[in-house]
Amino acid sequence: MEKICWKGHAAMFGANAMWGLMSPISKFIMLGGTVTPLVVTDLRIGGAMILFWITSFFQKPEHVSHKDLASLFVAALLGIVFNQGCFIFGVSLSSPGDASIITTSMPLWAMVLAALILKEPITGKKVLGIAAGASGALLLILGNGQNGQETSATTGGTMIWGDLLVLLAQFCYALYIVLYKDFVNKYSLVTIMKWMFTYAFICILPFSADSLMHTDWSGLHLPELGGLSFIVVGATFLSYMLIVVGQKNLRPTVAGMYNYIQPLVACIVAVCWGMDSFNFIKGMAVIFIFGGVYLVTSSRSRKELESYKAIRTKEEAG
């Protein structure tokens, strides 16, 4: 069995924990209606871009070839623009409950794409682990009674398009994790992220410039500004750095499994803030999620299976 890389697991846990925390904080910020989801997305991308460029001035400069810059542009589209953009517009057309459920498909996409592109084996442990993690996430989501309460607010045809956009967001992010598994080892994480967020900002600015200019920034109070600061610095700048660390050290399917941490953290925060209560169902959800992560982590990789087959072949030949 492969040696467990605790650094990679800690990085993916930290990134997804901050993304889970971002959910209730974003809802709090947007309650007043001053800041729209599109503005929050633009602030995330623009703020992270500035922070990554500032950080890059304190490290040794790296030359990035034109070919790799083109690759980073595609990475920015998959990992940031399409992922965040499709999700934001998808949620606006669908219901938050449906969107939360669809986000649980990301690890499944990661497993299938890793099998098709990287030839990673689909083992029984992986399937069981993803099923357990998805079950835990769904228990948390459906246990909050979101689905069904908000469905009536949206027409059926519009909801289908919204659901498809959210599904596309998950597919794009899974494809990014799989395609750039090896590429992220070529440069430092700061170099990779500064170019990805620069490209992403250029792509999204034409769609959000008008909203940015018409936002009443003076209407934001200290708690809202603090929340926005966390979203930009913690849930974007630090999280995306941690994601690269996870990509470098974990298989795509294992990295994707940590997506299930997000609804868990959001639930814990809601309980701590008195917005929700802890019960037996939530306890079972926690067991399912961490049990699923363990099963996928302990499943054999392609290298392990090839090594095992080689040893068996030698033993049979001997």
Positions in the chain short of pLDDT 70 = 1-4, 95-100, 141, 143-158, 275-277, 300-318
Instruction: At 18, list the tokens.
Output: 């901050």
Q: Residue 136: CB partners within 8 Å, gap ≥ 6?
A: 260, 264, 284, 285, 286, 287, 288, 289, 291, 292
Q: What is the pLDDT of residue 152?
A: 47
The residue written with tokens 């809202």 in the block is 224
Q: What is the pLDDT of residue 205?
A: 92
Q: Residue 148: CB partners within 8 Å, gap ≥ 6?
A: 97
Of the candidates 154, 163, 45, 152, which has an alpha carbon nearest to the alpha carbon of residue 104? 163
**pTM (global) more than 0.75:** yes
Beta carbons of 302 and 122 less than 8 angstroms apart: no
Q: What is the pLDDT of residue 71?
A: 96
Q: What are the extents of the domains in the chain?
A: 6-305
Separation between Cα atoms, residue 43 and residue 236, nearest integer Å = 10
